[in-house]
Amino acid sequence: MNYKSILFFLGIYSFLVSIFSLLNIFYSIYFDVNIGINSYLITFLVSATIGLLFFFIGKNHRKNFNLTEQLVFIFLGFVLIPFLISIPYSSSIYGINILNSYFESVSGFTTTGFSILLNINNIDEPLLLWRSSSQWIGGLFFLVATIGTIGSKQIKIKPAYLISGGASGKNFYNNFNYNFIKIFIIYFSLTIFCIFLYSLVDLRLLDAFNLAFTSISSGGFIPDVNLSNVLRNNLQILVFSITLLFPILNFFLIYDVFTRKFSLKNYYEDLHILFLILLSTLLFYFFLIPQEGFLNVFLAVTTSISTSGVFAYSSNFDSSLFFILLTVVGGSLISTSSGFKYTRIYILFKTSYQEIYRLVKPINVIDKNLFNQEVKIDDQDVKIAFLVFLSFIVSIFILSSILTLDYLTFEDSFKLSILTLTHTTSSTLYGLDNLSFLDLNNFTKISLIFFMILGKIEIIAVLYLIKSYIFKG
Establish if 377 belongs to a structural domain.
yes
- Asked whether residue 176 is assigned to any structural domain, the reply reads no
pLDDT of res. 151: 75
Range of the domain at 320: 268-441
Angle at CA of residue 76, ends 4 and 22, nearest 5°: 90
- Taking only the tens place, the pLDDT of each residue in 352-407 is 887 777 777 666 656 677 776 677 788 888 888 888 889 999 999 999 999 999 88
Looking at every residue in the chain, the average pLDDT score rounds to 87
- Looking at residue 266, the DSSP 8-state letter turns out to be G
Structural domain contains residue 420: yes
Distance CA 322, CA 128 (A): 31
**Residue 429 in domain:** yes
Asked, for residue 376, whether it belongs to a domain, the answer is: yes
Q: What percent of the chain has pLDDT over 90?
A: 47
Give the per-residue pLDDT at 15. Answer: 93
Asked if the structure places residue 128 within a domain, the reply is: no
Domain presence at residue 293: yes
Mean pLDDT of 144-169: 74
Quick count: other Cβ atoms within 10 Å of Cβ 286? 11
Q: Could you give the C-alpha distances from 289 to 43, 75, 245, 428, in angstroms and in order? A: 46, 41, 22, 14
Work out the percent of the chain whose per-residue pLDDT is above 70.
Answer: 93
325 lies in a domain?
yes
Name 463's Cβ contacts closer than 8 Å, sequence gap at least 6: 391
Identity of residue 342: Y
pLDDT number for residue 208 = 94
Q: Tell me the pLDDT tens digit for each residue of 97-120.
A: 999 999 999 999 999 999 998 888
pLDDT in tens, 452-464: 999 888 877 777 7
The angle subtended at Cα 405 by Cα 400 and Cα 408, nearest 5°, is 70
Give the pLDDT of residue 169: 52
Q: What is the pLDDT of residue 32?
A: 81
Q: What does the pLDDT read at residue 416?
A: 94
Looking at residue 195, its pLDDT comes to: 95
Query: Cβ(328)–Cβ(340) under 8 Å?
Result: yes
pLDDT category of residue 173 using cuts at 50, 70 and 90: low
H runs (alpha helix) in 233-338: 234-243, 253-258, 268-283, 294-305, 320-329
Per-residue pLDDT reduced to its tens digit, 192-227: 999 999 999 999 988 999 999 999 999 999 988 888
Number of domains in the chain: 1
Q: What is the pLDDT of residues 295-328, one digit of tens each?
A: 999 999 999 999 999 987 676 777 888 999 999 9
